């Protein structure tokens, strides 16, 4: 089978919102309705699944080159076709390249002056259309693509998101909301979001409102790990606590997580965040002899 022809289309930087200066930003790119290929305008179709990632070329501040990077989409193709939204953090890693660029004034300046970022699309010559690239459509333990409608409607899902790991689950929430969270089906989606400080909370009020609008289908548990206001009524401190004595085996205390979701073994657990935290969660589940109905995760 021949691989589809890959093209990069300039998408206008249509939204930049800073949650925590220098640390976390929401960005959105708007693709045109058509793009010229071989001298002809070809329509751009957006069929991305909730939980999948798109591919763009941000600027690398370390390498001084445009690089290829993937970002999980936080909105939905059916509600916002060709508007790709995501949330990006500075990794602060020694070799960090593009992640600090997203936090710069350069990005804001580009968005104010109609600037664009190149977004990957695949050219389907037989159907004469360009299709927004998505990294995967496969539902398996190493992806977070949402299950089919007839499945998630009756699943009890607990999603644990660390910082920008909320992106796939924001897409879930928006997708599920547009389908009334499955209506009369008995599914439930519980979103646990852990960030360091209040200003890093993403879509906080909208998620609180939604949990009140659909209490039978959706709950939201924001957790602050480093700073919280005096009147903070939600979780405080790490939800997965690692206890290591010198020379002893690592013990993981999941009590704060279990306090939020007592029936983990009756739920489908999803995780998005860093690899170390994922390993700690998996170890904690093993040590507590809690086997969720299924476990799927992505780490970046
Ligand atoms: C499916 C997926 C979804 C993601 N979603 C998000 C999201 O929603 N939000 C978010 O903030 N981040 C997301 N990420 C992470 C994001 O793509 C970047 O990796 C991250 O922002 C760090 O980028 P960076 O350029 O600073 O550093 P890195 O990507 O860690 O790169 C650091 C250095 O490693 C080199 N390098 C990177 N990749 C390779 C490679 N494959 N081979 C060789 N060298 C390499 C680079 O050239 C650079 O010098 C996602 C990643 C994946 C895979």
Residue-wise pLDDT tens digits, 249-282? 889 999 999 999 999 999 999 999 999 999 999 9
CA-nearest of 269, 52, 49, 271 to 156 is 269
What's the CA gap between 287 and 162, in Å, rounded? Answer: 21
What's the CA gap between 110 and 8, in Å, rounded? Answer: 18
Q: Is residue 142 included in any domain, yes or no?
A: no
pLDDT in tens, 5-52: 999 999 999 999 999 999 999 999 999 999 999 999 999 999 999 999
Evaluate: CB of 300 within 6 angstroms of ligand 1: yes
Same domain, 292 and 192: yes
Same domain, 120 and 156: no
Same domain, 290 and 157: yes
CA 88 to ligand 1: nearest atom: 11
CA of 24 to the centre of ligand 1 (A): 15
What's the CA gap between 245 and 222, in Å, rounded? Answer: 30
Percent residues over pLDDT 70 in the chain: 99
Same domain, 234 and 165: yes
- Domain limits for position 229: 149-299
Q: Is residue 267 included in any domain, yes or no?
A: yes
Q: Which two tokens stand for residue 181?
A: 């969270």
CA of 300 to the centre of ligand 1 (A): 7
Same domain, 104 and 160: no
**DSSP structure class, residue 17:** E
Same domain, 191 and 91: no
DSSP states along 177-239: HTTGGGTTS--EEEEEEEESSGGG--SHHHHHHHHHHSTTTEEEEEEESS---TT--SEES-S
CA-nearest of 176, 171, 273 to 282 is 273
pLDDT in tens, 177-232: 999 999 888 999 999 999 999 999 999 999 999 999 999 999 999 999 999 999 99
CA 100 to ligand 1: nearest atom: 26
Name the domain count of the chain: 2
Please report the pLDDT score of residue 247 as a whole number.
75
CA-nearest of 53, 44, 50, 40 to 8 is 44
State the CATH number of the domain containing residue 161: 3.40.50.80
Q: Is residue 89 included in any domain, yes or no?
A: yes
Residue 138: pLDDT above 70? Answer: yes
Evaluate: CB of 171 within 6 angstroms of ligand 1: no
Residue 56: pLDDT above 90? Answer: yes
Please report the pLDDT score of residue 244 as a whole number.
80
CA-nearest of 268, 61, 19, 59 to 163 is 19
From 80, 97, 132, the end of a domain falls on 132
From 72, 100, 132, the end of a domain falls on 132
Q: Is residue 124 included in any domain, yes or no?
A: yes
Which residue has its alpha carbon closest to ligand 1 atom 27? Answer: 96
Same domain, 185 and 219: yes
Which residues on adjacent β-strands are paired with residue 159?
191, 270
Q: Is residue 182 included in any domain, yes or no?
A: yes
Same domain, 178 and 248: yes
Q: Is residue 143 included in any domain, yes or no?
A: no
Rounded to whole angstroms, the maximal C-alpha distance in the chain is 68
Name the pLDDT band for 1 (thresholds 50, 70, 90): low
Evaluate: CB of 96 within 6 angstroms of ligand 1: yes
Same domain, 10 and 119: yes
State the CATH number of the domain containing residue 86: 2.40.30.10
Q: Is residue 144 included in any domain, yes or no?
A: no
Same domain, 93 and 156: no
Q: Ligand 1: which of 20, 52, 70 to mutate, most ligand atoms within 8 Å of CB? A: 70
Which ipTM value was assigned to this complex?
0.94
Name the pLDDT band for 234 (thresholds 50, 70, 90): very high
End-to-end CA distance of the chain: 30
CA of 156 to the centre of ligand 1 (A): 31
Same domain, 249 and 216: yes
Same domain, 257 and 295: yes
Q: Is residue 52 included in any domain, yes or no?
A: yes
From 132, 167, 192, the end of a domain falls on 132
To the nearest whole number, what is the mean pLDDT of the chain?
96
Please report the pLDDT score of residue 103 as a whole number.
98
Evaluate: CB of 136 within 6 angstroms of ligand 1: no
CA of 101 to the centre of ligand 1 (A): 12
């Amino acid at each position: 089978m021949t691989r589809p022809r890959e093209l990069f289309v300039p998408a206008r930087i249509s939204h930049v919102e800073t949650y925590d200066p220098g640390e976390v930003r929401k960005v959105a790119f708007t693709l045109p309705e058509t793009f010229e290929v071989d001298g002809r305008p070809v329509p751009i179709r957006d069929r991305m699944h909730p939980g999948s990632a798109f591919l763009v070329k941000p600027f690398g501040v370390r390498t001084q080159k445009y690089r290829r990077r993937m970002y999980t989409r936080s909105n939905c193709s059916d509600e916002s076709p060709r508007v790709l939204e995501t949330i990006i953090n500075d990794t602060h890693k020694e070799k960090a390249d593009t992640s600090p660029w997203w936090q710069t004034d350069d990005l804001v300046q580009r968005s104010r002056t109609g600037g664009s970022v190149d977004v990957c699309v695949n050219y389907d010559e037989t159907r004469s259309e360009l299709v927004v690239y998505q990294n995967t459509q496969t539902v398996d333990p190493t992806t977070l693509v949402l299950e089919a409608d007839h499945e998630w409607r009756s699943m009890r899902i607990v999603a644990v998101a660390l910082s920008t790991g909320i992106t796939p689950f924001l897409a879930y929430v928006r997708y599920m909301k547009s389908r009334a969270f499955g209506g009369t089906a008995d599914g439930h989606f519980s979103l646990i979001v852990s960030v360091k400080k209040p200003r890093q909370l993403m879509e906080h009020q909208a998620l609180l409102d939604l949990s009140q609008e659909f209490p039978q289908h959706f709950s939201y548990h924001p957790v602050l790990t480093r700073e919280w206001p005096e009147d903070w009524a939600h979780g405080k401190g790490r939800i997965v606590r690692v206890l290591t004595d010198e020379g002893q085996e690592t013990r993981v205390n999941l009590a704060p997580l279990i306090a939020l979701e007592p029936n983990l073994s009756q739920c489908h657990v999803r995780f998005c965040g860093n690899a170390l935290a994922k390993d700690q969660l998996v170890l904690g589940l093993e040590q507590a002899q809690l086997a969720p109905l299924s476990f799927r995760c992505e780490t970046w």
